[in-house]
Amino acid sequence: MLDRLRHHWPEYLMEAAGLGLFMLSAATFATLLEHPLSPVRQALPDAIMRRLLMGLAMGSTAVALIYSAFGARSGAHLNPATTLTFYRLGRVHAADAAGYVIAQFIGGLAGISLAALALGPLLQTPTVNYVATRPGMWGLSAAFAAEVVITFVLMTVILHVSNHVRWSRYTGICAGLLVATYITVEAPISGMSMNPARSFGPALLTRDLATLWIYFVAPPLGMLMAAEVFVRTMGLDKVFCAKLHHHTTARCIFHCRFGELHP
């Protein structure tokens, strides 16, 4: 196990860097769109329009990371729930799953910490609040249910698209479109996390840990449910690899059968 960790540290580093960049992007765009003194915020008083722009920004960020050198090397999970789901599906070694999850939490915390250093009080403003994810006005139950539903749909789409001979190269685009849609439509319900590591850093910096359990439990639950449905309907042998972007020459450290899908 230690030998595997030693040989695969570049992939873990790529995962950490990828989520760190995602958090930097989220903090920057949230400040631009939501800080009261921002000229963009003043020009766009409509909250739905601002969420749409935020969704497009973060969806584009997700797509860029998935198809970047970071994503090509690591597989661009950027999410402990994704890694744990592919581990359950037998595509990720236990040591790599542990390495990825630790790296994702470190990367997410590092990214929002760097944003806090760069943006200072701007990021602390209540309307920005370190881009923390919190339940909306419908309460904890609605937030939990919403997180389960959106992660279930996301993983269902990823599994069907990434394991399709024709559509696999578009997995990242599909994921980015869902991220953009969720931020626009679902964010008022749960804050739109889908990712324990994405929610952890802001919760730590704001010292508001009371509802963090939602984002630790619901996303893995939703994705694991999607995996169970996929296995029961399509079969475990239809899961070829854990990479979201496999049309690359970068090495793959997973239990990979992608060559069978694209011989």
Mean pLDDT value of segment 198-227: 97
pTM of the model as a whole: 0.95
CA proximity to 89, closest of 177, 149, 158, 10:
158
Q: DSSP for 49-112, please give it.
A: HHHHHHHHHHHHHHHHHHTSHHHHHH----SHHHHHHHHHTT-S-HHHHHHHHHHHHHHHHHHH
Render pLDDT for 4-22 as a digit per residue (tens, 0 to 9): 767 888 999 999 999 999 9
Contact, 154 vs 111, CB < 8 A?
A: no
Tokens describing residue 37: 């003194």
Q: Quote the pLDDT of residue 259.
A: 87
User: Is residue 247 scored above 70 in pLDDT?
Assistant: yes
Whole-number Å distance between alpha carbons of 83 and 195: 11
- Domains, the chain, with CATH or none: 2-261 (1.20.1080.10)
Q: Quote the pLDDT of residue 28.
A: 98
Render pLDDT for 94-152 as a digit per residue (tens, 0 to 9): 999 999 999 999 999 999 999 999 999 999 999 999 999 999 999 999 999 999 999 99
User: Is residue 232 scored above 80 in pLDDT?
Assistant: yes
Q: How confident is the model at residue 263 (pLDDT cuts 50, 70, 90)?
A: low
User: Is residue 214 scored above 70 in pLDDT?
Assistant: yes
Render pLDDT for 24-79 as a digit per residue (tens, 0 to 9): 999 999 999 999 999 999 999 999 999 999 999 999 999 999 999 989 999 999 99
Q: Which of 78-92, 131-145, 199-213, 237-251 has the lowest mean pLDDT?
A: 237-251
Percent of the chain with pLDDT over 70: 98
